[in-house]
Amino acid sequence: MSRSRPRSDEETDVFTDAVATMERIGEEASISAEVVEALRHPDACLVASLPVRMHDGHLRHFTAYRCRHDTSRGPAKGGIRYHPDVTLEEVQALSLWMTIKCAVLDLPYGGGKGGVVVDPKELTPMELERLSRAYMRAMADFVGPDVDIPAPDVYTNARIMGWMADEFQTIKRVKAPGVITGKPVGLGGSEGREEATGRGAFHVVQELAKHKGIEPADTRVAIQGFGNAAYHVARLLQETGYRIVAVSDSRGGIYSEDGFDVESIAEIKSRTREVQGVYCKGSVCELVEHDRISNEEILELDVDLLIPAAIEGVIHARNAKRIKAPVVVEVANGPIQGDADPILDERGVLVVPDVLANAGGVTVSYFEWVQNRQGFPWSLAEVRERLEERMVRAFDDVWYVHENEKLSMRSAAYAVALRRLERALESGGTREFFSNNR
């Protein structure tokens, strides 16, 4: 998952950038111009003001969004984020990326996304519950298990999804656990959902290693971010033998050529809310030799694998030439701006795009939705097995196009997705059909 960031005056807004990337790749992949035009426009967006009674008694209003980008292949699917920098443009871009992501994984979904302009760290637990229920009251006629299925995203979690699902069911007077995924397991959530994004990214790295002859023991990894997805991919990579030499959070990062113990960093972060270079044995943690570095510096380290897993737009035309890692795997949404892609391609940097690399979350959300509709929960082992199968199949689909059509991995992933979307949209007829006077 990723966090939004303030945009400078010189930068293109994130939705315009997302559309430009989709249009460019649509032309490369010879996608019908009418299909590309249709995908430039979200199906629908709802903007709402959420009144919330605060702990001290005063009434505060929060701006909220929900966008459905495309539903030609199924109901919309996408998370809800709480962040002070959420904008309509960001939510539109994220919903477009979800459309592409679901098509890459061949899930029967379109793209959706939602958000609330709020810093949730400033709210008490009761205020957070009131806000979450207010969001669902505003969106209850816009979402539903056959229409648009939300899930957790930045600064939202299983408990918040449980509150929202309960509010929807109270309003509609039905039991509809499939209205939201990422719920607590006790409320119909799926085993394995919390680790899904990171585990899916891990499977992508493993498949890439097979194709590129990458040896884990010889691979130094830098990860920008240490949220849920970053932690799980770091943990799994280290267990497989990769050396995690750098991680960061919003305050900055740590670097050691000798590598870190991921579980120790996670343990101390849970106590101090800060990444520190430590080794923990039980509850006792000791500092290990390391350097403090900035989030900008972590991107430019001389490592074998770079994983941006924090915020959008961190790699751009101004720093793309300083990226030294030969492989970048996008675990955040949109960490590489469109203007950086040609620079990285020219320099031979292999980028595994977010619409493939971080699709484990939506895949297990799909599994949860299926389990809710069947009324039959799966075991953790079943979820993990099915996730690996889906991620490997999607990687192979993208790699085949990458190799045979000589496209970048991002272009190949979009080509796979756009061709699936094209088949769906053309089924209803396009200009080519209606202009034929047979």
Contact yes or no for 224/233 (Cβ under 8 A): no
Which CATH number goes with the domain that contains 275? 3.40.50.720
- For residue 48, with 0-12 CB atoms within 10 Å meaning exposed, 13-18 middle and 19 or more buried, which class applies? middle
- One domain, residues 341 and 259: yes
Q: Quick check: 221 and 205 in contact, CB under 8 A?
A: no
- Would 221 be classed as within a structural domain? yes
Pairing of strands 110-117, 305-308: unpaired
Closest CA to 160 of 196, 113, 127: 127
Is 305 found in the same domain as 216? yes
Check whether residue 341 and residue 214 sit in a common domain.
yes
Residue 433 included in any domain: no
Cβ atoms of 293 and 255 within 8 Å: the answer is: yes
Question: What pLDDT does residue 232 have?
Answer: 95
Q: Of 296, 323, 357, at which residue does a domain stop?
A: 357
Distance CA 150, CA 170 (A): 17
Query: What's the confidence (pLDDT) of residue 406?
Result: 93
9 domain-assigned: no
315 assigned to some structural domain: yes
Q: 10 Å Cβ neighbour count for 75?
A: 19
| Residue 265 to residue 22: CA distance in whole angstroms | 38
- Token pair, residue 114, equals 């939602």
In 10 A of CB 287, how many CB atoms? 10
Residues 239 and 124 in one domain: no
Structural domain contains residue 430: no
Closest CA to 390 of 101, 68, 26, 22: 101
pLDDT in tens, 143-175: 999 999 999 998 899 999 999 999 999 999 999
- Looking at the structure, tell me whether residues 162 and 218 fall in a common domain: no
Amino acid at 331: V
Report yes or no: 200 and 359 within 8 Å, Cβ to Cβ.
yes
Q: Single out the residue in 357, 386, 406 at which a domain terminates.
A: 357
Same domain for 170 and 205, yes or no, is no
In a domain, 369, yes or no: no
pLDDT in tens, 230-280: 999 999 999 999 999 999 988 888 898 988 888 888 888 877 787 887 777
Query: Which one of 324, 357, 390 terminates a domain?
Result: 357
The CATH number assigned to the domain holding 150 equals: 3.40.50.10860
**Domain count for the chain:** 2
User: Is residue 223 in a domain?
Assistant: yes
344 and 247 together in one domain? yes
Q: CA-CA distance, 86 to 119, in Å (whole number)?
A: 10
Judgement on whether residues 158 and 202 belong to the same structural domain of the protein: no
Q: Do both 164 and 245 map to the same domain?
A: no
Residues 281 and 168 in one domain: no
* Per-residue model confidence (pLDDT) at position 438: 52
Structure tokens given for 190: 């799926």
Residue 220 and residue 145 in one domain? no
- 162 belongs to a structural domain: yes
Q: Do 143 and 51 sit in the same domain of this protein?
A: yes
The catalytic residues are 113
Spell out the per-residue pLDDT of the chain, length 438, in tens.
333 444 444 446 889 988 998 999 999 888 988 889 999 999 999 999 999 999 999 999 999 999 999 999 999 999 999 999 999 999 999 999 999 999 999 999 999 999 999 999 999 999 999 999 999 999 999 999 999 999 999 889 999 999 999 999 999 999 999 999 999 999 999 999 999 999 999 999 999 999 999 999 999 999 999 988 999 999 999 999 999 999 998 888 889 898 888 888 888 887 778 788 777 777 777 787 888 989 899 999 999 999 999 888 899 999 999 999 999 999 998 899 888 999 999 999 999 999 999 999 999 999 999 999 999 999 999 999 999 999 999 999 999 999 999 999 999 999 999 999 999 988 777 777 777 755
Boundaries of domain holding 221? 196-357
Residue 324 φ/ψ, nearest 5 degrees? -95, -25
